[in-house]
């Protein structure tokens, strides 16, 4: 069912990846619910942060963790609007678009995590709904949210430092060509997911073809990466579907951002193809197999972080809360003494413990030393 050939090398890599998923499933399946929730939260925050930063948003994972805590405590669908002034006051209004992108990505991923299995077979109507969630907090998108594009667009790589843009892939023309391509893609995906024994090649082809079509005016990159997670959660293979909830896939994509765009260009030769067999999607599959292998290893880091957090002393926890409440600020020891009312020696011991377990990072030397939370 894939539009490309699975040669012996790819097949061997898929077999090894499947075993890695099975092994990780064996490690996770009997863990306490509290630990599973903590691992999932690490992965989810990392997914939101990485996916938005790939598109040049600027919020750190620690800042996103703070924002997510605020919105989760509220718990209502109106939480972002209710707390917007508080969020912008903390994270600065000059990053307004980044805040809106993070809130939208968070909302989209929440639906994917909770409803992926219910969205099978997957429909264009559900896709449009995910796009609306993604752009729900961006007022300028109101007229095109959930609607296919009406003007040309491209897959674009943006340099984070200079802001320079580079076209990676000239996408499908707006109008009938995009409409027909999307209808064909969904018909193929739903049939292939049911019939094809290898789910990950199907996920890779679905997402690559979606990105090559680029059906929406804005948000295709973030949505496409969300769709890759959705396709994994929909996999008939229970090991892949279960473990994928605990993967920070986009964390690895962000680390290999240049390779990600090079692969998209290599697969397409820089232009949309009406016939998917004219792509070289096997290169995208090779790239994503590597990404998934590395993301599986990250689960061990999240488990270790959870265990280290549980072993923090009451004083270290109290100091850590100060950092968590001010993710954008580098704090001095004197700030922590004032906030906690703990003795300076106790604060110093707590800081050493937090540094050792990589909950905070040190900046500067001597009397000017400051500390900031890391995620």
Q: Over 70: is that where the pLDDT of 177 sits?
A: yes
pLDDT per position as a tens digit, 118-136: 999 999 999 999 999 999 9
What residue spans define the domains of the chain?
8-308, 312-373
- DSSP E strands in 151-256: the ranges are 154-158, 165-170
Residue in 278, 264, 282 with CA at minimum distance from that of residue 198: 282
Residue 266 to residue 108: CA distance in whole angstroms? 29
Output the pLDDT for position 367. Answer: 87
**Three-state SS for 158?**
strand
Average pLDDT, the chain: 96
Please give the CATH architecture assigned to the domain spanning 8-308: Orthogonal Bundle (1.10)
State the pairing for strand pair 370-373/360-363.
antiparallel
Output the pLDDT for position 94. Answer: 63
CA distances from 187 to 2, 175, 194, 203 (A): 13, 19, 11, 14
pLDDT (average), residues 159-166: 78
Q: Over 90: is that where the pLDDT of 197 sits?
A: no
Q: Over 90: is that where the pLDDT of 160 sits?
A: no
pLDDT per position as a tens digit, 56-114: 899 999 999 999 999 999 989 899 999 999 998 888 756 788 999 999 999 999 999 99
pLDDT (average), residues 323-345: 96
C-alpha Rg value of the chain to the nearest Å = 22
Under DSSP, the state recorded for 152 is -
**Three-state SS for 219?**
coil
Please give the CATH architecture assigned to the domain spanning 312-373: Orthogonal Bundle (1.10)
pLDDT per position as a tens digit, 10-24: 999 999 999 999 999
> Which alpha helices (H) appear in the chain, and where do they start and end?
8-28, 33-54, 61-74, 79-91, 96-115, 124-134, 176-195, 199-213, 220-233, 238-243, 249-255, 257-268, 282-310, 314-325, 333-340, 344-356
In this prediction, residue 204 has a pLDDT band, given cuts at 50, 70 and 90, of: very high
Q: Over 90: is that where the pLDDT of 164 sits?
A: no
pLDDT per position as a tens digit, 251-286: 999 999 999 999 999 999 999 999 999 999 999 999
Residue 138 to residue 151: CA distance in whole angstroms? 19
Q: Over 90: is that where the pLDDT of 140 sits?
A: yes
Output the pLDDT for position 1. Answer: 83
Query: Lowest-confidence range among 76-80, 238-242, 307-311?
Result: 76-80
Q: Over 80: is that where the pLDDT of 208 sits?
A: yes
């Amino acid at each position: 069912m894939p539009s490309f050939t699975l040669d012996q090398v790819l097949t061997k890599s898929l077999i090894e990846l499947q075993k890695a998923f099975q092994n990780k499933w064996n490690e996770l399946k009997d863990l306490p619910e509290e630990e599973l929730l903590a691992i999932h939260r690490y992965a989810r925050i990392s997914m939101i942060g990485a996916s938005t930063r790939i598109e040049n948003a600027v919020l750190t994972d620690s800042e996103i963790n703070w924002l997510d805590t605020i919105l989760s405590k509220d718990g209502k669908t109106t939480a972002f609007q209710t707390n917007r002034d508080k969020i912008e006051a903390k994270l600065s209004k000059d990053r307004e678009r980044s805040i809106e992108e993070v809130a939208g990505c968070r909302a989209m991923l929440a639906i994917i995590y909770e409803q992926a299995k219910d969205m099978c077979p997957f429909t264009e109507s559900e896709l449009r709904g995910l796009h609306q969630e993604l752009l729900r907090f961006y007022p300028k998108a109101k007229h095109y949210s959930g609607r296919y594009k009406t003007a040309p667009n491209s897959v674009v790589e943006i340099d984070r430092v200079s802001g320079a843009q580079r076209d990676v892939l000239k996408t499908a023309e707006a109008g009938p060509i995009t409409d027909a391509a999307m209808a064909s893609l969904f018909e193929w995906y739903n049939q292939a997911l049911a019939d094809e024994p290898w789910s990950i090649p199907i996920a890779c082809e679905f997402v690559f073809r979606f990105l090559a079509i680029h059906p929406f005016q804005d948000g295709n990159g973030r949505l496409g990466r969300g769709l890759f997670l959705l396709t994994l959660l929909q996999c008939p293979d229970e090991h892949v579907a279960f473990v994928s909830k605990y993967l920070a896939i986009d964390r690895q994509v962000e680390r290999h951002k240049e390779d990600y765009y090079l692969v998209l260009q290599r697969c397409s030769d820089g232009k949309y193809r009406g016939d998917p067999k004219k792509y070289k999607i096997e290169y995208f599959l090779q790239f994503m197999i590597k990404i998934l292998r590395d993301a599986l290893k990250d689960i061990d880091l999240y488990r270790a972080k959870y265990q280290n957090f549980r072993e923090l002393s009451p004083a270290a926890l109290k100091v850590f809360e100060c950092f968590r409440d001010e993710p954008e600020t580098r704090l001095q020891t004197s700030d922590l003494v004032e906030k906690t009312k703990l003795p300076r020696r106790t604060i110093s011991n707590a800081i050493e413990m937090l540094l050792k377990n990589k909950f905070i990072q040190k900046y500067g030397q001597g009397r000017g030393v400051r500390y900031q939370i890391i995620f």
